[in-house]
Structure 1
Amino acid sequence: MAQQHSNTNTRNPTHRKVSQYFPYLRLLPIITGASWLTTLSTLFIYWLAQGRPRYPAQSNPYVAFISDIGAFILQPLFITGGTITAITLLGTILCVHVVFHWEYAIAKRAKSQRYKQVFSVLACIFQGVACPCQICLTIFDNKGYPRIHRMLLLGAFAGTALSAICTTVVFWGEMWREEQAKELQTRRQSVIASTTIFGIEFCMGVAFTTLLYLKFYRISGILEWVMAFLFTFYFWAFAGFLLLPAEEGGEGINEETPLLR
């Protein structure tokens, strides 16, 4: 009895203390998506309002790429929006994985599986590599630094893609959970949504690269903008990853509390 009382006092207050910060953690992916959507919308609307001009060093004669528009008068906005998006996305990935393993330890009273720990670390490392690439991508524009811009673009996309794959591996089991708790259902839907969007983005990325190589500029230009806007929903999907299933964490509490009275 004393043992149970000791465990409850040491675990449950910590659970309550940490869980109160979860609503604030969920703001990270929301800020990421909002920042990216605002930046893209402003660039796109500006380009349309200017009569769809063709910028210097613009390789696509029909549709200006995002970096083409962001290389000129709107570059301060492009840099600011890209920096906020990159930093908050890195924070989101870090929180998603830390919360997952912390929650597992609280709910299961044990460490998560080793391979999940490894993939979580890899996901954070890959996103950590992508973050500075995403920021520098807005500074070293395609007009003045075409070679550096392409290298940064590769690093940003590769890092984000590998981080997404590792995150999917870690949360793969969440898609098949049958618990009826509202929080768990929301997380399951979020995992399915993010995985589906990532799969669509990957297929579109392959199509974009192929069409660009074959010089189908109009379609490839449209694809780039569609992919970019779709990423907004990928970012927002992570808000559901950061829902704490209180039923799991509190299950042991409900069973032990009557014994203490």
Structure 2
Amino acid sequence: MWGISYWIVPIFSACVWLAMLIAMLVVWAREGFPHYVSMDERQTIAYISDIGASGLKPLFIAMSTVTVVTFTLSFVFERWLRHTRRLAPNTSIWQKIYSGIAIGMAIAGAAGLILLSIFDTRRHPKLHNGFLVLFIGGYIVSAIFICWEYQRLGIHFREHSVLRISFWIKLVFILLEVALAIAFGVTQKQKKWNAAAVLEWVIAFIYFFYVLSFFIDFMPAVRTKHHQSRETEMDMAGVEAGTQHGDGAAMDQSYFRGGSTAQLNNGYATNGYANGNTNAVPNPYTSHNTDEYYNGPGAPANGHVKPTEPVAASRNF
């Protein structure tokens, strides 16, 4: 159950963010694309912050806070799962340092988004722009250190394709967001407000996909949890039945032909007789008198030895 809940966290976070963006666009469109007070005279496309500074400010603050708080939990859960070896564990102290920096910068980015939603562009334009830089920069730096950690993990765990996939997704996010952030700053500087507004919306939607991508990181934990649960069920089944179920399916040794210690519950050894064993097993084919037949060393002095019969095929395969 807990394995499943981990990957729900980034999905929930991403969905809240997407719902907020769509709600803002829908409200702006339903109101007839109004020109807000915080917009420049030549500006016709509203920034996210322009809409958020108007009647939707409570929504902007609440949903931004929920998004970044739950997203930060994704970083914490990922760190915990690596520590408990539910995910590929870190192989050096540097990888743990990279992870710690990534968490710290994600918290800084989260604080930036919460603060920019509170200090809106209409009443606190300078503070708002400063927190916007903290928000974008914090998550970009965080993604850089996550990529660094995953790159090192991928060297030691080449069999884990999830690490490679996650690494490339986050690397693409870094490259796109850095390029878009630079373009956003340049268009702002040149007072190309409409172009800058479009770039801001694009950055916001790319951030949605970045948050959503974190559910991939938790998939190995889900598979590991299910695998362990299945093994536990089989072990418990064996214990409850005295470690003998049918043909011994609950016993690990029973899955191999020729096991030296495994005994099926029908009383035979692995091939029905104790051929060549120093501890001979009584042959089920016994006479009604006291003379019993053995195939191994230690047969009775009367010399009765039962001829070796063909080995029956295992019923486990």
TM-score range, shorter chain: 0.7 to 0.9
- Partner in structure 2 of residue 135 of structure 1: 114
Q: Distance in 1 between matches of 2:107 and 2:75?
A: 9
RCO higher in 1 or 2 (8 Å CA, sep ≥ 6)? 1
TM-score for the superposition, normalised by structure 1: 0.78
- Partner in structure 2 of residue 84 of structure 1: 66
> Match for 2:85: what amino acid?
E
- Partner in structure 2 of residue 5 of structure 1: none
| 1:115-126 correspondence to structure 2 within 5 Å | 115-126=94-105
Question: What is the CA-CA distance between 1:186 and the residue it aligns to?
Answer: 4.1
Q: Which has the higher helix share?
A: 1
Question: What is the CA-CA distance between 1:198 and the residue it aligns to?
Answer: 2.7
**Deviation readout 1:128-154 (Å, 9 max, x if unpaired):** 222222112211111111122122112
Contact 2:95 2:152 in 1 (8 A): no
- Structure (1 or 2) with the larger CA radius of gyration: 2
Say whether 1:155 aligns with 2:134.
yes
Q: Percent identity?
A: 24
- Partner in structure 2 of residue 97 of structure 1: 79
Q: Distance in 2 between matches of 1:107 and 1:119?
A: 15
Say whether 1:211 aligns with 2:187.
yes
**Deviation readout 1:7-58 (Å, 9 max, x if unpaired):** xxxxxxxxxxxxx512101111101110000000110121122222111122
Q: Distance in 2 between matches of 1:107 and 1:87?
A: 25
Say whether 1:220 aligns with 2:205.
no
Say whether 1:194 aligns with 2:170.
yes
Q: Distance in 2 between matches of 1:221 and 1:25?
A: 34
Q: Distance in 1 between matches of 2:203 and 2:9?
A: 21
Which ranges of structure 2 fall in alignment gaps of 5 or more residues? 232-250, 254-260, 263-317
Indicate how the Cα distance of structure 1 residues 115 and 37 shifts in structure 2: closer, same or farther if over 3 A, else same.
same
- Partner in structure 2 of residue 39 of structure 1: 20
Contact 1:208 1:223 in 2 (8 A): yes
**Deviation readout 1:140-176 (Å, 9 max, x if unpaired):** 1111111221221122222212111111111124567
Say whether 1:169 aligns with 2:148.
yes
- Higher mean C-alpha displacement, 226-235 vs 30-39: 226-235
The one of 47, 58, 63 equivalent to 2:39 is: 58
> What is the root-mean-square deviation of aligned Cα atoms in Å?
2.7
* Partner SS for 1:103: coil
Contact 1:90 1:128 in 2 (8 A): yes
- Partner in structure 1 of residue 291 of structure 2: none
- Partner in structure 2 of residue 233 of structure 1: 209
Q: Distance in 2 between matches of 1:141 and 1:34?
A: 23
- Partner in structure 1 of residue 279 of structure 2: none
Q: Distance in 2 between matches of 1:178 and 1:124?
A: 24
Contact 1:191 1:237 in 2 (8 A): no
TM-score for the superposition, normalised by structure 2: 0.65
The one of 218, 224, 248 equivalent to 1:246 is: 224
* Partner SS for 1:55: coil
Contact 2:64 2:117 in 1 (8 A): yes
The one of 133, 136, 146 equivalent to 2:125 is: 146
The number of residue pairs the alignment matches comes to 230
Q: Distance in 1 between matches of 2:102 and 2:210?
A: 16
Question: What is the CA-CA distance between 1:196 and the residue it aligns to?
Answer: 1.3
